[in-house]
Amino acid sequence: GESVGLHLPTLSVQEGDNSIINCAYSNSASDYFIWYKQESGKGPQFIIDIRSNMDKRQGQRVTVLLNKTVKHLSLQIAATQPGDSAVYFCAENPPKSGAGSYQLTFGKGTKLSVIP
Amino acid sequence: DAGITQSPRHKVTETGTPVTLRCHQTENHRYMYWYRQDPGHGLRLIHYSYGVKDTDKGEVSDGYSVSRSKTEDFLLTLESATSSQTSVYFCAISEREKAGELFFGEGSRLTVL
């Protein structure tokens, strides 16, 4: 697969434990945030999103927390499983002008390794 | 899985040659994107399209051009490939209302020698 794991911070967790992946975003005016998961050799896959008028959102086994005061985003994965092993990216939607759709700015990613 | 097909999946070429990567979707989504992914840089937007014949530049557009003559196809062209364009290229699509939810293709690995 592609070497997207090089130079990335790595988080190792025991199977069954909870995982917390952190992300510091850059633009205080960003109003929308997304987490993506990328397994080796595949394209990124949408996990969960949150808008800036919220500070918490829950999905299936995942929770995203947003702290706008310190421009921090976190992804919590409950009861981590081996299939959760992947690189996780946060992305923000900074304000922009002109025509066109959303343009996301992606973080560099964190590699999650689950120990069986 | 969203119906996104990238071709070719792997290509090795020489410096100075033209290269075209194709993204084909069967979802009828309006928005399409080309990203490149490099170690230490994450995903960076090259170009995107918000409709047929409507395209705009992204963060790293120099050395790349795109075309979208029909909804389902978005082409990325490197007119004269350079070694710095060695990368993994991802196509993505989205609907307007959920534009943060991008659906990505499997990627095209390009090596420029």
Q: Above 80 in pLDDT, residue B82?
A: yes
Tokens of B53: 């014949």
- Within 8 A by CB and 6+ apart from A4, the residues are A38, A40, A87, A109, B37, B39, B88
Min Cα–Cα distance to chain B from A65, Å = 17
Min Cα–Cα distance to chain A from B17, Å = 23
Q: Return d(Cα A50, Cα B41) in angstroms, integer.
A: 23
What is the number of other CB atoms lying within 10 angstroms of the CB of residue A58?
A: 12
Is the CB of B95 inside 8 Å of chain A's CB atoms?
no
Q: Above 90 in pLDDT, residue B93?
A: yes
- Average pLDDT estimate for B28-42: 91
Q: Which residues of A touch B39 (CB under 8 A)?
A: 3-4, 6-7
- Within 8 A by CB and 6+ apart from A44, the residues are A36, A37, A38, A89, B43, B90, B102, B104
Phi, psi of A84 (to 5 degrees): -85, -10
Dihedral sign, CA of B44, B46, A42, A65?
positive
Contact A34 B99 (CB under 8 A): no
pLDDT band at B95 (very low <50, low <70, confident <90, very high): confident
pLDDT the model gives residue A14:
97
DSSP letters for A89-115: EEEE-----SSSS---EE---EEEEEE
Q: Return d(Cα B108, Cα B113) in angstroms, integer.
A: 16
Q: Which of B44, B56, B104 sits opposite A43 (nearest CB)?
A: B104
pLDDT the model gives residue B60:
93
pLDDT the model gives residue B100:
72
Phi, psi of B95 (to 5 degrees): -95, 155
What is the H or E stretch that residue A36 is in? strand A32-38
Contact B100 A6 (CB under 8 A): no
pLDDT band at A105 (very low <50, low <70, confident <90, very high): confident
State whether residue B96 is helix, strand or coil.
Answer: coil
User: pLDDT for A29-83, tens place per residue?
Assistant: 888 999 999 999 999 999 999 999 999 999 999 999 999 999 999 999 999 999 9
- Average pLDDT estimate for B59-63: 93
pLDDT the model gives residue B99:
63
Contact A44 B104 (CB under 8 A): yes
pLDDT the model gives residue A82:
96
Min Cα–Cα distance to chain A from B107, Å = 6
Q: Are strands A10-14 and A110-115 parallel, antiparallel or unpaired?
A: parallel
Contact A101 B58 (CB under 8 A): no
Q: Radius of gyration (Cα) for chain A, nearest Å?
A: 14
Q: What share of chain B is helix, strand, coil (3-state, %, to 5)?
A: 5, 55, 40
Percent of chain A past pLDDT 70, that is, above it, reads 88
- Name the residue in chain A with its Cα closest to that of B91: A43
pLDDT the model gives residue A7:
63
pLDDT band at A93 (very low <50, low <70, confident <90, very high): confident
Instruction: Give CA A19 to chain center in angstroms.
Output: 12
> What is the residue whose two structure tokens read 């409507």?
B54
Q: Mean pLDDT of all residues in chain B?
A: 93
